[in-house]
Amino acid sequence: METDKDWAKFDKDRYNKYDGKAKDALVSYLEQEGHTIKRIKETYVADVVSVKDKETFYSEAEVKAPWEGEWPSEWKDLRIPGRKARLLQKHATITFFVFRSDCQECWIVKGEQLTLDSLKEAYGAKISKGELFFHIPVKDAKLIKLDKGRWSEVKKTKPASTTKKTSSTKKKTSKE
């Protein structure tokens, strides 16, 4: 899944600010889930390699810096940089973890959800013109939250219906 796109310039300051704490949060989640961490070293492949039940897992940590507090309801998609396509080519199974800026909440997206048809141009203050991102609907991702040192899934609630249900009741008569 290669594209001819020149990706945004690497932002070393942003990387230094978020990379370590995102990887620490990712490792804490994986260890809680029973994974043994095999590698965290920066090698431009998956951020973390772990093993669970004799199966190897590849995980990539991302931080959505503008995300603070509750996930904004108007943000319908998660956007994962298109340059991450290289990881899909290297690892048959990879999982992406998109953390809130404080790393207390995280969306989990499986690599197979990053498809060519989900790769689209994105717009934003820190996004280069023409830069491509995988757009993944949040309804298709899993949200987890760190609370008192434990990660747990945040259950998605369905929006309340605006249609009123009316019921007609029929009075029983002695003839019925």
Q: What is the DSSP letter of 113?
A: G
Output the CA–CA distances (angstroms, integers) from residue 120 to 43, 113, 133, in the order listed. Answer: 27, 14, 6
Helix (H) or strand (E) holding 145: strand 142-147
Residues 90-140 pLDDT 10s: 887 899 999 999 999 999 999 999 999 999 998 888 788 888 999 999 999
Ordered alpha helix ranges (H), the chain: 12-32, 85-90
Domains of the chain and CATH, by start: 12-148 (3.40.1350)
Give dist(CA 80, CA 134) in Å, integer.
Answer: 5
Backbone angles phi, psi at 91, to 5 degrees: -125, 125
Three-state SS string over 50-76 comes to: EEECCEEEEEEEEEECCCCCCCCCCCC
Residues 25-69 pLDDT 10s: 999 999 999 999 998 877 777 999 999 999 999 999 999 999 999
